[in-house]
Chain A
Amino acid sequence: MSELDEEVLVAQSQEGDLQAFNTIVQRYERQVYNLALRMLGDQALAEDATQDAFISAFNHIKGFRGGSLKAWLLKTVANRCRDLLRSAYRRHNISLEGLTLNAEPSFPSREESPEEYTMRRELGQEIQRGLDTLPADQRLALVLVDIQGLSYEEAAESAGASLGTIKSRLSRGRAHLRDYLRTHGELLPEQFRRRV
């Protein structure tokens, strides 16, 4: 989808065109869902957060004033995740540390052997355990920049924070995760054990 196409789709969505908005959903749902999954660490909660985020995005798309649509959508889902984490913490109904990521990664590609696929899956699970130990703001910065590959500027926009804040959260988050992986390195797939 080119930038021009995206602008047209946004304009049509702002007029209430559901089909145009669904094209946008189709384009970004994977990234939005993955952010929710990494933030919440639970598939069912991530599904709810993603769906709520797209509903909210449709309702508020008239307020979108240009810029990165991806960052705007990620900001919407990040806010929803923050709400869920806050209410979960408040009610103590969900022990976030106890949650395990039971989602399957992408199916193996033609170049990837089943062993590599399994290793990648195990790595994802162990990294998720490490991410769960981080404060939500640091986790969000890490997921946006290091996992989703956003630039610092896009990540700042998605997190609703300044560039300096994102840099600081990223620095502390990376250091915390490194310390976690150092102490839990034996849980990593063998291929990755000695790297950290």
Chain B
Amino acid sequence: MRVVEVFWRLWKRGHQRYQESLSDYMDGRLDARDQGRLEEHFSRCEECVRDLESLRATVQLLQRVPLVDTPRSFQLQEMPVLRPARPLFLRAMQVSTAVAGVLLAVLLVGDLLGSFGDGAMPPEDRAQVAQEEGQLEALAATTPPTMVPAPSMAAEAGEAATPSPEGADPEAAREPTTAETDLSAEEEMPQPFQIEEGDGWGLINTFQVVVGALAGVLLAATAYLTYRRLRSAT
């Protein structure tokens, strides 16, 4: 049963190809080999013979369709005026659409590749960030973990948590410890990662916004011009 089905499909496909070549056959546009194959197919397929006849009749009918007389003369009475506006308009639209497309593509590819992230930072800035990072790590290594309280705790720790021993010089007691000095230094030091990264992103975001806005303006202009064109055509 399956073999019959496969055979039937193959025959149908071949039959379809022959059907498509009937028009060329009728006009004598088939090469000798294809013509021979089709004629051989005719001997086995009555449907193709019938279709060839009806196709031939259709073409004969078309050939009998009369030519209509012109209702008037189309001779030009005066020198026609050139209309350059349309090609110029179309060219402007094409250019603006192409530019907008390129801008959007740059934006998209850049976003996908992540080149608008750290990669966009200039090398000298990157070196500076790395240097600051190294300093911070060295600082963290020399400071015992217990001596680095959280900034919020540092204020409370001043009096309540570590009362100064009696008789001690209050001024000396107020002298900041190494840890406190380091802590205050850390507090005063801007957080390099966040700020630098933030600044970088800020710049990049500005770039992205400008490119996106430019592309948007171009696309909007194209849409507006198209709308005007359609309105004037009606």
Contacts and interface: CB of A to CB of B under 8 A. Distances in A.
A31 B70 CA distance: 9
B64 A123 contact: yes
A147 interface: yes
Interface in B60-92: 60-76, 78-80, 82
Contact of B63 (A104, A121, A146, A177): A146
For the side of the interface on B, what is the size category?
A: 35 or more
Tell me what chain A mostly uses at the interface: helix, strand, loop, or mixed: helix
Interface in A25-40: 25-26, 29-34, 37
Interface in B32-69: 51, 54-55, 57-69
Contact of B24 (A147, A167, A192): A167
Given A87-B233, A107-B69, A147 B76 contact: no
Interface in A1-47: 16, 18, 21-22, 25-26, 29-34, 37, 43, 47
Interface of B: 19-24, 27, 29, 51, 54-55, 57-76, 78-80, 82, 230, 233-234
Given A127-B65, A195-B61, A196-B61, A175 B71 contact: no
For the side of the interface on A, what is the size category?
A: 35 or more
Contacts of A184: none
A163 to B, nearest CB: 9
B76 A30 contact: no
Contacts of A149: 63
Nearest to A34: B67
B35 to A, nearest CB: 15
B59 A146 contact: yes
A127 B67 contact: no
Contact of A181 (B58, B67, B68, B82): B58
B82 A59 contact: yes
Contact of A192 (B51, B61, B68): B61
A170 B21 CA distance: 11
Nearest to B20: A171
Contacts of A174: 23, 55, 58-59
A171 B24 contact: yes
Interface string A118-154: 0011011001000000000000001000110100100
A171 B68 CA distance: 25
A175 B16 CA distance: 12
Q: Quick one: which of B19, B20, B71, B73 has the most chain A CB within 10 A?
A: B71
17 contacts: A29-B73, A29-B75, A30-B70, A54-B74, A58-B76, A103-B68, A124-B66, A127-B62, A147-B67, A167-B29, A170-B23, A171-B20, A171-B23, A174-B58, A178-B55, A178-B58, A196-B57
